[in-house]
Copies of this chain bind each other. A is one copy, B any other.
Amino acid sequence: MSLDIPYVRTPGPDGRDITGQVDFSQVPRFAGPGTFAGLPRLSDVGESAAGVIGIPFDSGVTYRPGARFGPEGIRSASHLIRPHHVELDSFPFAKHQVADVGNLAVTPFGIEHAIDAMVSGLTAARERAGKLVILGGDHTVAYPSIKTLFDKHGPISVLHFDAHIDTFGTYFGASTHHGTPFRRAAEEGLLDPEGCMHIGIRGSLYDHQDLSDDRALGFQTVHASEFLTTGLHGIADQMRARLGDRPVYVSVDIDVLDPAFAPGTGTPEPGGLSSRELLFLIRSLAPLNVVGADVVEVAPSYDHANVTSLAAAHVAYEFLSIWGL
């Protein structure tokens, strides 16, 4: 019996083998290497076309902390993922090389230092690993992620699933924290003001200005209550119309889900989406130009039976499946 981990290998388009998931006919799903979906590490394959990367940072949270353990929770919940995405008819791990890039190590003390390290780390990661799904960590990570995408794609359309608008202002002296990534990105000109959109917004705000500021920054908003009026299919249409063929960054704060579906998060708001709705909407992005994505704010110490991490793992899998079409 070999000690080496057996991976599924498929011939790639360029003649080189693609290393897929651990071979689950030889390795029970609970016995694998602990990577996302049993994929190889980036260091095992050298480079990849797409990857997942953890950013275990939660020093930007304003209420319940713990998202620093999000990457560990999401990876643990990803081991039931299989290679064929049925609805999209995608084999994302056989189309091109996909890898688990590991975690970015950033300081828990000092948000600005952490952001610098994220910018540097994400730049390096995108060079070697291709398109990335970031596993947060708190929502702060969206700002450096967009910043590094801007360098390549120019102004970015942000499609933002969240209970909160996250274009709030300075809080306790910090201009960047988990409530402000999109304000800072917008103010620095990184966003395409014709192509940004929030979906799932709900709960109370501070003032009228929160939403008017947000609109001024370029965001169109679909409130969670619109799922009861406009309906899911209408919202999907609005979403595709807004995004068109722009380069889109999709940022999924797991609290866009109702606390029933995502108890393990830091600022839960009742009245949210179901996981079925969220996965449907992401899946319907398949024809669009998604250049990057994150799924953030999973706080395992508040989770139960991994349900929040499960939802997040499947969100990540949707992105990989779109990229594997």
| Chain A, 177-207, CB within 8 A of any chain B CB | 177, 202-207
Q: In the complex the two chains form, is B303's CB within 8 Å of A302's CB?
A: no
Measured CA separation A31–B74 after assembly (Å): 13
Answer yes or no: A288 CB below 8 A from chain B CBs: no
Q: Which residue of B lies closest to A32 (CB)?
A: B103
Q: Which residues of B contact A280 (CB under 8 A)?
A: 225, 228, 271
Measured CA separation A4–B209 after assembly (Å): 29
| Chain A, 282-325, CB within 8 A of any chain B CB | 283, 301-307, 310-311, 314, 317
Q: In the complex the two chains form, is B260's CB within 8 Å of A68's CB?
A: no
- As for how many copies of this chain the complex holds, the number is 6
Answer yes or no: A65 CB below 8 A from chain B CBs: yes
Q: In the complex the two chains form, is A30's CB within 8 Å of B120's CB?
A: no
* Given known A87-B225, A271-B275, A317-B204, contact A258–B259 (CB-CB < 8 A): no
Answer yes or no: A240 CB below 8 A from chain B CBs: no
* Given known A276-B272, A310-B259, contact A3–B86 (CB-CB < 8 A): no
Answer yes or no: A49 CB below 8 A from chain B CBs: no
Q: Which residues of B contact A260 (CB under 8 A)?
A: 258, 260-261, 274-275, 307
On A, residues with C-beta under 8 Å from B are 1-5, 25-34, 42-43, 54, 56, 58-66, 68-69, 72, 75-76, 79-87, 101-111, 113, 117, 120-121, 124-125, 128-129, 171-174, 177, 202-208, 210-211, 223-225, 227-228, 232-233, 258-261, 263-264, 267-272, 274-277, 279-280, 283, 301-307, 310-311, 314, 317
Given contacts A28-B56, A30-B68, A31-B54, 11 further A-B contacts (CB under 8 A): A30-B56, A31-B103, A64-B66, A65-B66, A65-B68, A80-B268, A107-B173, A109-B174, A227-B276, A260-B275, A271-B280
